[in-house]
Amino acid sequence: MQPLPPIYSFPPLYTRQPNSIIRNQQLNAWIDLILQYARENKCWTMAKTGTSTADPKFNIFHNESIQRSVSPMFIDEIWALMIKQSKAIVNNDNNNNYFILWQNIDSWASLILQWFEDSNKLNQVVTIYELSQGDETINWEFHQMPEPLLILALKPLCKRNRATMLKDEDGAPIAIKVI
C-alpha cells in the first residue's frame, strides 16, 4: 500500500473541529485522503465504518500508528459531504457500502467510450462482465470496477444516444452496445 500523505498522521485531523472554517478544511482533507487511498489501491467500495473492501484489515478512519480514530458521528458527516459532492454513492446492493468515485461518473463514461473506440468495439455487444473482468480492459483504470458502478458509468452514454443497454430476462442490464 502506498503511504498516505503526512496529514494522515496529524492527530487533530481525527477530532471534529469546532470552528466551521477549519472544519470545512478538515472535511476536505478527509475526502482527499479517501479518494487518494481509493485511487491508489483500486478500492472501489468502502464500508460505512471506513473498512476498505480491497483490504479488510485496513480502516481509513482508524490510524493505529498514532492511536487515533474518527468518531462515528464525524464519519457520517464526512460521508454525507462526499455524497453531496458526488464523490461517493450508496451501493444499492449493500447499503453498508459506498462506491468511491475518484473520478466522476462522466469522466468514467468518457474513459469507457474511449476504450470502445480504441479497441474497435463499436457496434458490438460487450457484456458488463467483459468490461470489468475481461483481459482486454486490464490496462484500463476501469478494469475490475464493480458491475453496479459500471452500469452507472455507462448510463451517460445511453443518455447521449451513443449506447444501448441489453437486459437479461429479469430486466437487469448485462451488456452494452456502443455506436
Partner 1 sequence: MALSIHKGMYESSLMDRSQPFRYCVATHKLPEIILVIMGQKNSKLRVTETDRAVLQLKRSKDEIHKFTRRTDSLISQERGTLKQLIRENPSAYKKDVKVRFLLKRIHYQETLLQQASDQLINLENMASTLEFKLIEKQFINGLKNGNDILTKLNREFEKENVSELMDNVQDQIAYQEEIDGILSQSIAGVNDYEDEIDKELDQMEAEVLAKELPSTDHVAPIQVPQTKPEQVSKPEGEPEPEREREREPVALLS
Q: How many CB atoms lie within 10 A of CB 54?
A: 16
Q: By C-alpha distance, which of 105, 84, 107, 102 is closest to 33?
A: 102
Q: Nearest approach, Cβ of 128 to partner 1 (angstroms)? A: 9
By CB under 8 A, is residue 124 in contact with partner 1?
yes
Give the C-alpha separation, 63 to 36, whole Å.
Answer: 16
Among 34, 88, 126, 153, binds partner 1 (CB under 8 A): 126
Contact predicate 113/58, CB 8 Å = no
**At its nearest, how many Å lie between partner 1 and the CB of residue 166?**
5
Contacts of 174 (CB under 8 A, 6+ apart): 127, 128, 129, 166, 167, 168
By CB under 8 A, is residue 80 in contact with partner 1? Answer: no
Among residues 67 and 123, whose Cβ is nearest to partner 1?
Answer: 123
- Cα-atom radius of gyration of the chain, to the nearest Å? 18
Q: How far is the CB of 162 from partner 1 (least distance, A)?
A: 7
Closest contact distance (angstroms) between CB of 133 and partner 1 is 7
To the nearest whole angstrom, how small is the minimum distance from the Cβ of residue 170 to partner 1? 13
The correct pick among 67, 138, 161, 171 for binding partner 1 (CB under 8 A) is: 161
126 phi and psi, to 5 degrees?
A: -125, 130
Q: Does the protein bind partner 1 through residue 162 (CB under 8 A)?
A: yes
Q: Which element (helix H / strand E) includes 174?
A: strand 173-178
The kind and range of the H/E element at 99 are strand 97-100
Figure out which of the listed residues 130, 139, 140, 151 binds partner 1, where binding follows CB under 8 A: 130
179 is an interface residue for partner 1 by CB under 8 A:
yes
Q: Is 13 in the site for partner 1 (CB under 8 A)?
A: no
Residues forming contacts to partner 1 in the complex (CB under 8 A) are 124-127, 129-130, 133-134, 160-164, 166, 168, 174-175, 177, 179
